[in-house]
Amino acid sequence: MRVPRSHPRYRSLRARELLASMVDEGVADRTGLIAHGRGEAFDYFLGERTPPEARLAASVAAYRLAKARAPVISVNGNVAALACKAVIALAKAVPARVEVNLFHRTEKRIDLVASYMESLGGRDILGRQAAGRIPGLAQPRAKCSREGIFSADVVLVPLEDGDRAEALKKMGKLVIAIDLNPLSRTALAANITIVDELTRAIPLLEKYVRMARKEPARHARLVRGFDNVQNLLSVRDRMARNLMDAER
Task: State the residues that interact with ligand PTJ by CB under 6 A.
Answer: 28-29, 31-32, 35-36, 38-39, 42, 76-78, 102-104, 159, 161, 178-181, 184, 197-198
**Alpha carbon separation from 155 to 2, 10, 112, 202, 233 (Å, rounded):** 37, 32, 22, 14, 23
Tell me the closest approach of the beta carbon of residue 23 to ligand PTJ, in angstroms.
10
Cβ nearer to ligand PTJ, comparing 162 with 216: 162
Shortest distance (Å) from residue 148 CB to ligand PTJ: 15
How far apart are the C-alpha atoms of 171 and 152, rounded to whole Å? 10
C-alpha 212/C-alpha 217 separation (Å) is 8
Q: Which is nearer to ligand PTJ, 71 or 182 (CB)?
A: 182
Q: Half-sphere exposure of 189 toward its Cβ, with a 13 Å CA cutoff?
A: 24
In the complex, the smallest distance separating the C-beta of residue 36 from ligand PTJ, rounded to whole angstroms, is: 5
Give least dist CB 156 to ligand PTJ, A: 13
- What is the closest distance, in whole angstroms, from the C-beta atom of residue 195 to ligand PTJ in the complex? 8
* Least distance from ligand PTJ to the Cβ atom of residue 235, Å: 13
Q: Closest CB to ligand PTJ among 48 and 118?
A: 48
Q: Which is nearer to ligand PTJ, 11 or 104 (CB)?
A: 104
Closer residue to ligand PTJ (CB): 28 or 65: 28
Residue number, nearest CB to ligand PTJ: 39
Least distance (Å) between residue 44 CB and ligand PTJ = 12
Which of residues 67 and 111 has its CB atom nearest to ligand PTJ in the complex?
111
Nearer Cβ to ligand PTJ, position 39 or 148? 39
